[in-house]
Amino acid sequence: MSRRRALAALCVTQVVGWGVLYYSFPVALPTITADTGWSGPSTTAAFSLALVVAALVGIPAGRAIDRYGPRPIMTIGSVVGVAATLGIAAAPTIGWFAAAWVVAGLAQAGTLYAAAFTALTRWYGPRRTHALTVLTLVAGLSSTIFAPATAALLDHFGWRQTYLVLAVLLAVTTIPGHAFGLTAPWPAHDHTAHPRRRNGHVRTVASSRAFVCLTVASALTAFAMFAATIHLIPLLTDRGLSMSLAAWALGLSGAGQLLGRVGYAPLSRRTTPRFRSVAILAGGAATIATVGLLPGPAAALVAASIVLGIARGAFTLLQSTAVSDRWGIAGFGTLYGILNAPTTIAMAVAPWAGSAIAAAVGSYPAMFTVLTAIAGAAAVVAAGTAVPAMHARHGS
């Protein structure tokens, strides 16, 4: 019962946490720049800085969760998130605005997917895929809820007042949700192991060929898929779709992620970790190529956008289970933090880098061709993620 309560609590806090600390920003960005006069690139850079901080802090945060459990770390992270959101609302200059987003990056590291995945992986053990699927299905609704909700707040209030409301919402949901919802006993697996043995396991895994290949493949795929998604609307409008229809295609692409997550569980039961890694990443590359090269008609472009979302949804669960499926749950928080850091940084630079690639190659279809090559390279690298039997499933 306590594990189910924790899962329910995490479903709520992930929806709100992602909504406030991530999805609110792109909606509020035009209003922020219009009101303050800050440039779009500098304002966006502040947000990207938060993602980089989250990536770097995610490693020690994962190590702390391994040792102390998710309740104290995620509760403290929630408090920090509320303070950061208040700081964003009150920022008088772009420098203070960027500093507030740095603090938000600390909160992201301690409260969002990396922390939640670690908690559920350790709590649910062999049944982790089911719990992670439930969590990502529910959390996948965050953008659907918070994009229009943020827009509605902006219509009635200024952006500063909007962030004040979001800070209050974050406070009343995530702080008690983590403090009182995450009370399930924390598995003592890592606590009973000698620190040198535990650290030795982490070092052995993190330096292995399979883990390095997994990290590289994950970062390349995240970059390609995120850049493709961010630039989907300009690609589709260049193909002749109206802005409204292109926006619908992007929204349906987000809904497609739910299908990808639902389909991951049966795939994981029937395939090896390496096979599904190669298959999902190769499928993602093929989908990016299809979206970029398909000239039309509009219905086909919308359908391809949905398939792109399906590939992204499957990739989310692939990444969340990649470590535990190969090496078990020992040191999972630390290892997942190491795996996730380059991926998060890749996502942070993808919007800017995608635009730079498009400018360099001259068109969005050509940019998607470059992204296809990057995603294809990731699938090739993923072929090196098989783990020898003697090194697999430690502590599962």
Give the distance, in angstroms, between the CA of residue 374 and the centroid of all CA atoms in the same chain: 19
Contact call for residues 271 and 279 (beta carbons, < 8 A): yes
For the chain, what are the domain ranges?
Answer: 2-187, 193-391
What class has domain 193-391? mainly alpha
Neighbouring residues of 78: CB distance < 8 A, sequence distance ≥ 6 = 13, 17, 107, 110, 111, 170, 171, 174, 175, 177, 178
The tens-digit pLDDT sequence of the chain (396 residues) is: 788 999 999 999 999 999 999 888 888 888 899 999 998 788 888 988 998 999 899 889 988 998 899 999 999 999 999 999 999 999 999 999 999 999 999 999 999 988 998 899 889 888 888 898 899 888 888 877 888 888 889 989 999 999 999 999 999 999 999 999 999 988 865 444 455 556 678 888 988 999 999 999 999 999 999 888 878 878 888 888 887 788 788 778 877 888 888 888 888 888 998 999 999 999 999 999 998 888 879 889 889 988 998 998 899 889 888 888 888 888 888 898 899 889 988 988 887 788 888 888 988 899 999 999 999 999 999 999 888 765 555 444
Q: At what angle do helices 40-68 and 24-36 cross, to 10 degrees?
A: 140
Residue 322 tokens, joined:
């990649």
CATH 3.30.2320.20 fits 2-187, yes or no: no
Q: What residue spans of the chain are helical by DSSP H?
A: 2-18, 24-36, 40-68, 70-90, 94-111, 113-124, 128-139, 142-156, 159-181, 189-192, 195-206, 209-230, 232-238, 243-270, 273-293, 298-327, 332-361, 364-382
Domains 2-187 and 193-391 share a fold: yes
* Whole-prediction pTM: 0.80
| pLDDT score of 270 | 87
